[in-house]
Amino acid sequence: MKMEGPLEGAIVERSFAVDRPTLIRRLRAVLPAQGLLAEEEDMRPYDCDGLTAYRQLPLLVALPENESQVQAILRICHQLRVPVVPRGAATGLSGGATPHADGVLVSLAKLKRIITVDPLSRTAVVQPGVRNLAVSEAAAPYGLYYAPDPSSQIACTIGGNVAENSGGVHCLKYGLTVHNVLCVRGLTIEGEVVEFGNAALDAPGYDLLALLNGSEGLLAMITEVTVRLTPKPELAQVVIASFDDIRKAGDAVASIIAAGIIPAGLEMMDQKAIHAVEPYVNAGYDMSAQAILLCESDGTPEEVAEEIARMTEVLADSGAAGIRVSQNEAERLKFWAGRKAAFPAVGRVTPDYLCMDGTIPRKRLAEMLTAIAELSLKYGLRCANVFHAGDGNLHPLIMYDANQPGEFDRAAAFGAEILQLSVRFGGTITGEHGVGLEKIDVMAEQFTQAEIAAFHRIKAAFDEHGLLNPGKGVPTLARCREYTLARGHAAAGTVRSSPGG
Amino acid sequence: MDTLIEAWAGRIVDAARSGCPLAIRGGGSKTFYGGPEEGEPFAVGAYSGIVAYEPTELVVTARAGTPLVELAAVLAEKGQWLAFEPPYYAPSATVGGMLACALSGPRRQAVGAVRDFVLGVKVLNGLGDVLSFGGQVMKNVAGYDVSRLMAGSLGTLGIVLEVSLKVLPLPVSEKSVRFALDEATALTKLNQWGGRPLPISASAWHDGVLTLRLTGAAAAVAAAQRALAGEALADADGEVFWHSLREQTHVFFAGDAPLWRLSLPSVAPAQALGSTLIEWGGAQRWLRNGDSRVIRAAAAKAGGHATLFRGDAALKASAGVFQPLSAPLARIHRNLKQAFDPQGVFNPGRMYPGL
Ligand SMILES: Cc1cc2nc3c(=O)[nH]c(=O)nc-3n(C[C@H](O)[C@H](O)[C@H](O)COP(=O)(O)OP(=O)(O)OC[C@H]3O[C@@H](n4cnc5c(N)ncnc54)[C@H](O)[C@@H]3O)c2cc1C
């Protein structure tokens, strides 16, 4: 069936004819003296996010200091039909905050005030540029914390977290960003203030709050977030199990869940990752292991003792070669430090890496890891695996050297194969890092043309002219068709396995 | 495509062409909820059955017509359940209706709502296209989160065909305890306890009595029971009590007087709007009767909203079922409706007039 009218604009990739001098003049009038960067050397630091393989200078960089300045920027850009790209801390790994050549990159970094921390209601209201960890630090005196803990939490912002629906090692038990945010205050591209959600547990009408989470800056500019704070458990302990075979480790993950245990965290690292991390962090990992699992329990001392005993039993039954339990908080943090530093650690042993983010059913972990090992040989590129095993969320880190001709292309092809496999295994191309620019073509692997068209219509419901972060998240239909043709499918999405069959 | 779905798609296209909308009905257990049914009755209960269930993946996929009773039985066999305790209100309640109304039971504050457990959906939109969003895995950020958007959309965006839900292990141990407390003190206590790592899985205050349910490992429940020092309920009495709240068979809900649901920040003070029953640690408050304008204004002032949960057609028409939306939100709602159902085929007016 054909689509309706309003989409036409949004499905054609386009450039924007922008009158730069006029734009500069109008933006200068609403921003503080240092609030607009227009010189190449000043804008250079903003030319990429965590996906450093993609670089682009923006037309301009705006550094607003409060919501009304953001509003003024949006009004001007909307009026002049100029693209706007929101940027938090630029730790994103899919190119969501990569600038647009014809657009204004709006950094929310200066909106970094923690407005309130209320221990009674267990909520915090923060500006979008507040760092994830800063929220937990502010809540700590009350015995509370903000549960979603991406490994980038020292740097990444709450605005970015909402835009990506970020996860962390504790999300298996405590949920993703979407489960821990009560209200998002934002601005439409027209500059109107909107509140998605509220301080209660639900809001009237459609669940737009759910839609905003993971919307990659395509639906609204986030200017304030109300997050839910969680009481700190009395005790947390982590078990490290080492395995001499990566498949055993993969199966152990499924066995833990099958035993009715929901660990507070369940993470895995393969030997390449361990070997990158251990010399860097000295976390005490078993260097001879093919894989290690980190399995955490939290709660009352009685609960933790009971659960750790059950976890240990399952891990031993799954063939763990060695099992250690953290004996105090310092040791627990040390065990986790290695996991949290895994990406930078791998970054030390390779000039460049690509981080994949496919999610698959847990029972296929062992199969997937075997396939990745084969692909690594096929492409002649090393690959370390660090991931949220409990959620089935993989992070293969494909190592390459951008200065070697052809290596990036090989790495990208390697990554694409992993994502195709993720879809074929009944999973998704991205569990938490978002589609951004990086996975935009592979979207056709997971969605049909009709589904992609539905996404464009949702986008148009918020942003008629397609000005917010254009070119990200959802491929144009033309692009889908090209991808599908190139991949030789009869129709996109046909490889998607249905849960039934 | 399944022949049944094909027939439905044809029906949708016809409805779009003829301008005669469809009133979608699953098990009919929640027809009372929301605006009036308008259009030709369209029964979708026939599309039923569990498509896939993987206990070790903590995921079940069921067709929307699957009765909740049936789903619960299948899950229970493997020691699992839908942790948000969806209300049935009638044995005919279906998975699709559960998603469309997005009502959650007493455990909502502790574990989350329907939307927090939805992993994927398959829907028929107003163009007759079958669309799948999300999936069967725990984390998925490819594309907009349409699965969760469907939760609570009251069938206005499409016919839900299939839903994938996260399931959890059944609770190991549960105890209920009671305290004699006035409303204000109960609210304060609930919020203070909420800030401590206590295994409180449900709470209810009514008529000077606060009841708590503790859920978790046996040792943790016992420890919390000692720390809180309430009067313990017999296990069977506790079960009956929480069930009566979930199903609204508790005496508070009896009779034909309008039932208002206030969704407020848990710390909102006692509202003094008449006889009340408080759940979800203070975040859900039920009222019988009252002036709709006064109730709506009070809810808004407290930072929440009020729903006319049960009421006759006349009251629904004059008061509106749901709290009115701000102008920009109303516009986004209209645009989204247009995006999924451009000809207005599905459940017109069930959520807001004109939507
Ligand atoms: C070492 C490392 C470890 C990581 N570990 C994890 C992990 O464990 N889990 C995980 O989920 N991710 C992880 N990430 C990815 C990344 O940190 C997250 O996606 C994070 O949420 C991005 O936040 P940011 O502030 O850096 O956002 P940015 O990268 O600046 O932006 C991300 C997206 O959000 C949009 N955006 C930002 N701010 C706003 C706003 N105010 N309004 C609207 N849109 C906005 C941008 O346009 C962009 O599309 C990791 C990254 C690195 C480098």
Q: Which amino acid is residue A300, in one-letter code?
A: T
Among A85, A93, A353, the mutation site with the greatest number of ligand 1 atoms within 8 A of its Cβ is: A93
Give the closest-approach CA distance of B130 to chain A in angstroms.
8
Residues A340, A362: one domain?
A: no
Q: How far is the CA of A275 from the centre of ligand 1 (A)?
A: 27
Give the closest-approach CA distance of A266 to chain B in angstroms.
13
Both tokens of A98, joined, read 């990569």
CATH code of residue A31: 3.30.43.10
Give the closest-approach CA distance of A334 to chain B in angstroms.
24
**3-class SS string, A32-94:** CCCCEECCHHHHHHHCCCCCCCCCCCCCEEECCCCHHHHHHHHHHHHHHCCCEEEECCCCCCC
The CA distance from A480 to A442, in Å, is 9
What is the end-to-end Cα distance of chain A in Å, rounded?
Answer: 26
Interface of A with B in 172-191 (CB under 8 A): 172, 175-176, 178-179, 188
In-domain check, residue A498: no
Checking if the pLDDT of A500 tops 90, the result is: no
What pLDDT does A484 receive?
A: 86
The angle, 0 to 180 degrees and rounded to 10, between the axes of the packed helices A301-317 and A246-258 is 130
What pLDDT does A13 receive?
A: 58
Q: How far is the CA of B333 from the centre of ligand 1 (A)?
A: 27
In-domain check, residue A356: yes
Residues A45, A74: one domain?
A: yes
- Reported as a pLDDT band with limits 50, 70 and 90, residue A22 is very high
Query: A417: Cβ–Cβ under 8 A, 6 or more apart, which residues?
Result: A375
Q: A391 and A257 in contact (C-beta within 8 Å)?
A: no
CATH code of residue A412: 3.30.70.2740
Nearest by CB to residue B136, choosing from A234, A257, A426, is A426
Other residues' Cβ atoms within 10 Å of the Cβ of residue A490: 6
Residue of chain B with shortest Cα separation from A449? B131
Reported as a single tens digit per residue, the pLDDT across A98-128 is: 999 999 999 999 999 999 999 999 999 999 9
Q: A9 and A465 in contact (C-beta within 8 Å)?
A: yes
The answer to whether the CB atoms of B143 and A210 lie below 8 A apart is no
Residues A411, A461: one domain?
A: no
What pLDDT does B319 receive?
A: 97
The CA distance from A262 to B168, in Å, is 9
Among A46, A74, A91, the mutation site with the greatest number of ligand 1 atoms within 8 A of its Cβ is: A91
| Closest-CA residue to A313 (of A385, A250, A241, A243) | A241
Query: A238: Cβ–Cβ under 8 A, 6 or more apart, which residues?
Result: A265, A294, A295, A296, A297, A325, A326, A332, A335, A336
Nearest by CB to residue B144, choosing from A215, A305, A306, is A215
Q: A399 and A346 in contact (C-beta within 8 Å)?
A: yes
CA B101 from chain centre, in angstroms, equals 5
Q: B245 and B284 in contact (C-beta within 8 Å)?
A: no
Reported as a single tens digit per residue, the pLDDT across B79-122 is: 999 999 999 999 999 999 999 999 999 999 999 999 999 999 99
The CA distance from A373 to A392, in Å, is 17
Give the closest-approach CA distance of A218 to chain B in angstroms.
10
In-domain check, residue A14: no
Both tokens of B215, joined, read 């859920």
CATH code of residue A321: 3.30.70.3450
- The number of domains in chain A is 5
The answer to whether the CB atoms of B57 and A203 lie below 8 A apart is no
Checking if the pLDDT of A9 tops 70, the result is: no
Checking if the pLDDT of A8 tops 60, the result is: no
CA B175 from chain centre, in angstroms, equals 24
Other residues' Cβ atoms within 10 Å of the Cβ of residue A309: 11
Residues A260, A340: one domain?
A: yes
Q: Which of A184, A210, A231 delimits the end of a domain?
A: A231
Tell me if chain B has a CB within 8 Å of the CB of A501: no
Nearest ligand 1 atom to the CA of A96 is 49
Nearest ligand 1 atom to the CA of A155 is 26
For this complex, say whether ipTM is above 0.95: yes
The answer to whether the CB atoms of A439 and B142 lie below 8 A apart is yes
Residue of chain A with shortest Cα separation from B163? A499
| Closest-CA residue to A84 (of A13, A190, A156) | A190
Q: How far is the CA of A145 from the centre of ligand 1 (A)?
A: 19
Residues A217, A141: one domain?
A: yes
Among A133, A152, A437, A459, the mutation site with the greatest number of ligand 1 atoms within 8 A of its Cβ is: A152
Share of residues in chain B with pLDDT > 90 (%):
97
Give the closest-approach CA distance of B261 to chain A in angstroms.
11
The angle, 0 to 180 degrees and rounded to 10, between the axes of the packed helices B218-228 and A301-317 is 180
Boundaries of domain holding A356: 350-439
Q: What is the DSSP letter of B10?
A: H
Q: A53 and A437 in contact (C-beta within 8 Å)?
A: no
Mutate to test the interface with B, among A2, A118, A121 (most CBs of B within 10 A): A121
Nearest by CB to residue B141, choosing from A165, A193, A203, is A165
Q: A458 and B144 in contact (C-beta within 8 Å)?
A: yes
Nearest ligand 1 atom to the CA of A87 is 30
Chain A residues closer than 8 Å to B75 by CB: none
Pairing type for strands A104-107 and A84-87 reads parallel
In-domain check, residue A198: yes
Nearest by CB to residue B139, choosing from A144, A208, A359, is A359
Q: A483 and A492 in contact (C-beta within 8 Å)?
A: yes
Reported as a single tens digit per residue, the pLDDT across A348-388 is: 999 999 999 999 998 898 899 999 999 999 999 999 999 89
Nearest by CB to residue B265, choosing from A119, A199, A393, is A199
Residues A92, A127: one domain?
A: no
Instruction: Give ligand 1 pocket residues (Cβ under 6 A).
Output: A 49-50, 85-93, 96-97, 108, 128, 150-152, 156-157, 159-161, 163-164, 166-168, 216-217, 221-222, 343-344, 432-433, 469
Average pLDDT over residues A201-222: 98
Reported as a single tens digit per residue, the pLDDT across B139-182 is: 999 999 999 999 999 999 999 999 999 999 999 899 999 999 99
Chain A residues closer than 8 Å to B220 by CB: 299-300, 302-303
Residue of chain A with shortest Cα separation from B61? A499
Nearest by CB to residue A210, choosing from B135, B149, B329, is B149
Share of residues in chain A with pLDDT > 90 (%):
88
Nearest ligand 1 atom to the CA of A216 is 49
The answer to whether the CB atoms of B137 and A427 lie below 8 A apart is yes
Residues A61, A25: one domain?
A: yes
Residue of chain B with shortest Cα separation from A214? B141
The angle, 0 to 180 degrees and rounded to 10, between the axes of the packed helices A342-349 and A329-340 is 50
In-domain check, residue A404: yes
Nearest ligand 1 atom to the CA of A222 is 42
Residues A61, A120: one domain?
A: no
Residue of chain B with shortest Cα separation from A435? B142
What pLDDT does A4 receive?
A: 35
Q: Is B274 left (phi over 0), alpha (psi -120 to 50) or beta?
A: left
Residue owning the nearest CA to atom 7 of ligand 1: A150
What pLDDT does A200 receive?
A: 98
Burial of B184 (0-12, 13-18, 19+ CB in 10 A): exposed
Chain A residues closer than 8 Å to B325 by CB: 204-205
The CA distance from B242 to A306, in Å, is 28
Nearest ligand 1 atom to the CA of A472 is 49
One-character DSSP codes across B306-343: EEEEE--HHHHHHH-SSPPPPHHHHHHHHHHHHHH-TT
Give the closest-approach CA distance of A37 to chain B in angstroms.
31
The whole model's pTM is what? 0.96
Q: Does domain B2-170+332-340 have CATH number 3.30.465.10?
A: yes
Q: How far is the CA of A161 from the centre of ligand 1 (A)?
A: 5
Reported as a single tens digit per residue, the pLDDT across B290-349 is: 899 999 999 999 999 999 999 999 999 999 999 999 999 999 999 999 999 999 999 999
- Reported as a pLDDT band with limits 50, 70 and 90, residue A489 is low
Q: Which of A90, A107, A124 delimits the end of a domain?
A: A107
Tell me if chain B has a CB within 8 Å of the CB of A360: yes
Ranges of H-type helices in chain B:
3-18, 68-77, 95-101, 108-111, 114-117, 146-150, 183-194, 218-228, 235-246, 292-301, 313-319, 327-340
What pLDDT does A7 receive?
A: 38
Mutate to test the interface with A, among B63, B111, B139 (most CBs of A within 10 A): B139
Reported as a single tens digit per residue, the pLDDT across A139-194 is: 999 999 999 999 999 999 999 999 999 999 999 999 999 999 999 999 999 999 99
What pLDDT does B331 receive?
A: 98
Q: Which of A107, A128, A154 delimits the end of a domain?
A: A107
Tell me if chain B has a CB within 8 Å of the CB of A200: yes
CATH code of residue A171: 3.30.465.10
Checking if the pLDDT of A11 tops 50, the result is: no
Q: B119 and B166 in contact (C-beta within 8 Å)?
A: yes
Give the closest-approach CA distance of A30 to chain B in angstroms.
24
In-domain check, residue A7: no
What pLDDT does B131 receive?
A: 98
Tell me if chain B has a CB within 8 Å of the CB of A139: no
